[in-house]
Amino acid sequence: MSIKFDALIRRASAVFKIGLLLVSGVFFVFFLNNAVSAPSDEVILLLTSKGESFKETIEGLKDDLGKEVSFIEKTLHNNAEYSQSIEHYLDVIKPKMLVFLGNKPLQEYIRYQKENSSKKFPPAVALSALYLDRQITDLKNINGIRYEIPAVTSLVQLREIVQRPIKKVGIIYREWMTDFIQQNQVYCEQEKIELVKVKIYNRTSLSQLNYHLKHLLHSDIDALWVANDNALLHPRIIQNVWIPLLKQFNKPVIVGIHRLTRKNLNFGTFSVEADHYALGIQAAEMISTIMENDWQVAEHEIEPPLSIRNSLNLKLSRDKKIPIDQQKLGQIDQLIL
């Protein structure tokens, strides 16, 4: 009788230990899952749009700073989230700093600051958004890194590999970009490159864009520079205006977004853009400076990107009979064959 009783005791003890382990495991998993989103003294909140380039930048940022601070990453997918998220995350997470990647999170933050002008805002850094000089001029406690590469940088690199003079370069732009284009004109003149400019209204119809672009492409230019403008580069406009007109334009087309040089699009022949991973490393340096300054932005500063990547659609260049110096192809980071 005692033997059976001892066996029951041992079995009950084993069951109790197993149950204790399971409960401990569940608690440990719960702790890990919630520790990621729990507020801490050294939390940096990343608010980002969806996209591979943003992931590369975040990877660079975390590789450089991941051991010194905690990052909480929030990817926003739709307008409903944008309209509610900024204030919610600030209240719940209470981050020491904000990092914005992309136009939409930054634009929502601009609106948030305007609607809450009396509040104290944590330091922030803006990345991978277009024309930061224009966007964050009136924001408080924020620095940034430009995404645009000056046209002269792209044109000088292109001139190195194309066996044809590049002296006149066409550009079509909306009127709000006038200051940016004029700055680039000064830089280009220093390299003896003339910008042939066509300015159009901010609210321009598809037919008007078609008319002005067609005339520009038939003018005396050696290449076309396409500035980053989300409105003029909307997929519908690319398909219905740019691509049909560029079919007969057998000269280089310089773009500022790598994906516009992809193989089957038949749009850009050459692109220069910021190196996304290196952009994260550069942002980490900017954040470190703010941390060392007791989490304060010392002065409003917008830096140019320190590292760039170029790509050449060699197949499209050959199809258009653009003469490329084969010995200079080693200067290209990515060749599209």
Q: Is the pLDDT of residue 21 over 90?
A: no
Q: Is the pLDDT of residue 205 over 50?
A: yes
Q: Is the pLDDT of residue 122 over 60?
A: yes
Give tens-digit pLDDT for 271-325: 999 999 999 999 999 999 999 999 999 888 899 999 999 999 999 999 999 999 9
Mean model confidence pLDDT for the chain: 87
- The label of the residue with tokens 């450089």 reads 64
DSSP string, 92-126: HH--SEEEEESHHHHHHHHHHHHHTTTS----EEE
CA-to-CA distance for 164 and 325, rounded, in angstroms?
10
Range(s) within the chain of domains with CATH label 3.40.50.2300? 43-148+275-303, 151-274+308-336
Give tens-digit pLDDT for 226-238: 999 999 999 999 9
Give tens-digit pLDDT for 153-191: 999 999 999 999 999 999 999 999 999 999 999 999 999
Tokens found for residue 101: 């990647």
CA-to-CA distance for 163 and 315, rounded, in angstroms?
16
CA angle, 42 then 44 then 47, to 5°? 165
Helix (H) or strand (E) holding 168: strand 168-174
* CATH class, range 151-274+308-336: alpha beta
Give tens-digit pLDDT for 29-55: 333 344 334 344 689 999 998 888 999
- Split at pLDDT 50, 70, 90, the class of 84 is low
CA-to-CA distance for 30 and 43, rounded, in angstroms?
20
Helix, strand or coil, per DSSP, at residue 47:
strand
Give the per-residue pLDDT at 82.
Answer: 52
Give the per-residue pLDDT at 39.
Answer: 41
CATH of domain 43-148+275-303: 3.40.50.2300
